[in-house]
Structure 1
């Protein structure tokens, strides 16, 4: 009887079952706690690595590979609480392709408390983040009126100061060499491309050689007989091209308002022995000392032809003869800009004008050049100082906020500061 009662008795079964299930239950609850800690650590790490890539975006371009790693770890540690993760490792890379990119990863191990019971002492957590931003490369042509009227009212003095300030701003906007290029195109009736270019094949010497200014006549007198009879012979020779002073005038119409490559006689540039040749132009460069020196060389002299200044400014932005700008990288976004400053009306070009009063024919050529440059994607700023054809300059600008009408020379300085700030903001858009 006692044995039968023992066999059918169920008292204490719950306790035994609980004892058997206790360990898995504890492990399950503990695992939930451990994984909650793991999820919290991962979220905190993700926030920290996101903050790291964002902070690095402002300095990565100027850091070496090893310094970039050091800075990444420093920034991460500032944002990540200590004690949550062991054996943290952070790495970062900076690349330039279709903009700029900073990528960073962080790994570490989170100690397991309850999972350790079943042999899992830690779990690895890994997070990554990428910061992308568009970095435009700037190519800026400063097309600056150097005609005789710029000597009045302190305009040239103000222009030189304003231009150097603008160059300083553009230099600051460049993180690496080549981020910002600048050309300087002083102009009056002509543009000076440099007298050392006299052997270049893109020059057409036809007009220069036909001009009597560029010819030298010598005479020889011979006397014979009694009574003496004397005869004089004259020998006219074209001066050597090396005597050219460097100025070029407008190309043949309609090449005068565009940048077609000078490959035929009809498309080449015409040297002119202009007595009021302006300072020599400076092609695109990021040598800021060279650019400052070019500004110092500017002198106000001669008549006004805004067309030739604008076209050579545009010409300086393209990778073709005669100025051969550096070839653009297909993986980089570029902003081509012309800043045209003038203090008066168009007075003379190769065909029209008297050099002192406004010429509507020259205005027409300027308007055509403006339209063509904008159609090619060039962003044009125009600055009219005190006097000039306001309608022409306003319509030439790419937008209403890129046209400036100044009433005093001192405003050149503040206006160039405004333009410089705007270009700096356009270069980096995060």
Structure 2
């Protein structure tokens, strides 16, 4: 309510009072006017003060961010923080009603488990229009903003497409180079071993969990046959109704017949691949982080024998950067696209549970959990759906559900798609990203490095804590 409106309103009431013939009513009304006037005036004055405070909060947030940027980049020293804060704030805070405005900034150096911190405080007052009648000539207000960088501990899963089309246009080479640069960028944020940890999940239709896990209790072998797809034009194909289906699990779950007599082959013949878990109608193990339970087959991971099993096995969270880079160097293209299984294993790699058993997180520390999913194509198949050549909306549907579950758990998702052959933008990747700034659409292999660098900058960017 503006002051001009209030004066017009009360002027009208005064004229009505002057024409009143009932003396008692006139007296009572006159007495009642004072508290009514005070309450309405207080609301107006406090509303103005609140607007001034909101504007101050916004200016303080921006000031704190710019100070932290300047200090972290070496543009200013810690002794210049006070003066620089005043200059930034004066340029940003434009509320002309505020009086006695002051701003101060304090810097706290990094300590074990905590990054450097800048706190910016501001205060001011608004002269009152109405409350001065009751002895309050002004309303004071204050606000503050805190920035810290390097305070959050990072756990990042790199979920990287290793499908056959990655061989085109040197996409696999560009990805390897960009991913290793990102590892260098993120590892530089660590003050201590374990502050930053990275896992690597190469994927195609399946993922490779490593033959060293052959005796793991979370594997099941009832859908495994070391005999796998053979080119039907030259050799035997065990999937009689569709010779292009690769493995026992994929053949049967696509509704075809597996004609080989499996017998009891030695598990030593296993190549390390696993396919999707069961998609129970209500529990959806293929798109959940439910821990596997020995004796409950639907929760276990199915040993598979995909002939295009990724050459690089999944690397659980680690801060051994040479091992991370060796895993990335070991990637090679082959097979079709099932982003869902890669994304699920990326999620699992961040959890302190079987099968990947991420290291325990220290109580009292803040952790950021992040998945970066890179792919060069559209989903073409999984254990049940798709022909492994053209886009499968059924696989996309499973993936959409998984993405939502991951985001609901508090994990931040970045998605990067590169389309060099005109297949078009994915129907699921933009929505899978946590927000629009975390989806990247590329058309050339040369753009991968810039996208990964931008992601690294976003991950490391300053965090405002009010």
Distance in 1 between residues matched to 2:173 and 2:351, nearest whole Å: 30
1:299 aligns with: 332
**Preserved CA contact (<8 Å) 2:200 2:324:** yes
Q: How does 1:91-110 map to 2 (within 5 A)?
A: 95-96=111-112, 99-100=114-115
Q: How does 1:399-418 map to 2 (within 5 A)?
A: 399-418=435-454
Task: Please state which structure has a larger fraction of its residues in strand.
Answer: 1
1:428 deviation in Å?
A: 9.6
1:352 deviation in Å?
A: 1.0
Match of 2:278 among 229, 252, 255: 252
Distance in 1 between residues matched to 2:299 and 2:220, nearest whole Å: 9
Match of 1:384 among 414, 417, 422: 417
Cα 1:375/1:345, change in 2 over 3 Å: same
Scaled by the length of structure 1, the TM-score of the pair is: 0.64
1:141 aligns with: 157
1:243 deviation in Å?
A: 1.3
Distance in 1 between residues matched to 2:331 and 2:465, nearest whole Å: 35
1:393 aligns with: 429
Distance in 2 between residues matched to 1:212 and 1:290, nearest whole Å: 32
Cα 1:194/1:376, change in 2 over 3 Å: same
Tell me how large the CA RMSD over aligned residues is. Answer: 2.9
**Preserved CA contact (<8 Å) 1:137 1:427:** no
Distance in 2 between residues matched to 1:292 and 1:274, nearest whole Å: 25
1:193 aligns with: 209
| Structure 1 residue ranges without an equivalent (≥5) | 1-53, 59-74, 77-91, 103-130, 215-234
Post-superposition CA distance 1:73-109 (Å, at most 9, x none): xx99xxxxxxxxxxxxxxx997546x4579xxxxxxx
Query: SS where residue 188 of structure 2 aligns?
Result: helix
Distance in 2 between residues matched to 1:201 and 1:332, nearest whole Å: 32
1:390 deviation in Å?
A: 2.7
2:298 aligns with: 266
1:391 deviation in Å?
A: 3.0
Match of 1:172 among 188, 197, 204: 188
1:237 deviation in Å?
A: 3.8
| Structure 2 residue ranges without an equivalent (≥5) | 1-67, 73-77, 80-107, 118-145, 230-260
Distance in 2 between residues matched to 1:344 and 1:402, nearest whole Å: 18
Distance in 1 between residues matched to 2:360 and 2:404, nearest whole Å: 24
Cα 1:185/1:194, change in 2 over 3 Å: same
Q: How does 1:211-250 map to 2 (within 5 A)?
A: 213=228, 237-250=263-276
Distance in 2 between residues matched to 1:311 and 1:389, nearest whole Å: 21
Select the structure of larger CA radius of gyration: 1
Cα 1:236/1:394, change in 2 over 3 Å: closer
Cα 1:275/1:428, change in 2 over 3 Å: farther
1:154 deviation in Å?
A: 1.5
Distance in 2 between residues matched to 1:407 and 1:348, nearest whole Å: 23
1:50 aligns with: none
**Preserved CA contact (<8 Å) 1:259 1:311:** yes
Distance in 2 between residues matched to 1:324 and 1:177, nearest whole Å: 18
**Preserved CA contact (<8 Å) 1:100 1:132:** no
Distance in 1 between residues matched to 2:147 and 2:437, nearest whole Å: 29
1:212 deviation in Å?
A: 5.7
**Preserved CA contact (<8 Å) 1:261 1:267:** yes
Distance in 2 between residues matched to 1:285 and 1:133, nearest whole Å: 24
Post-superposition CA distance 1:368-407 (Å, at most 9, x none): 1101000000100000101454331100000000000001
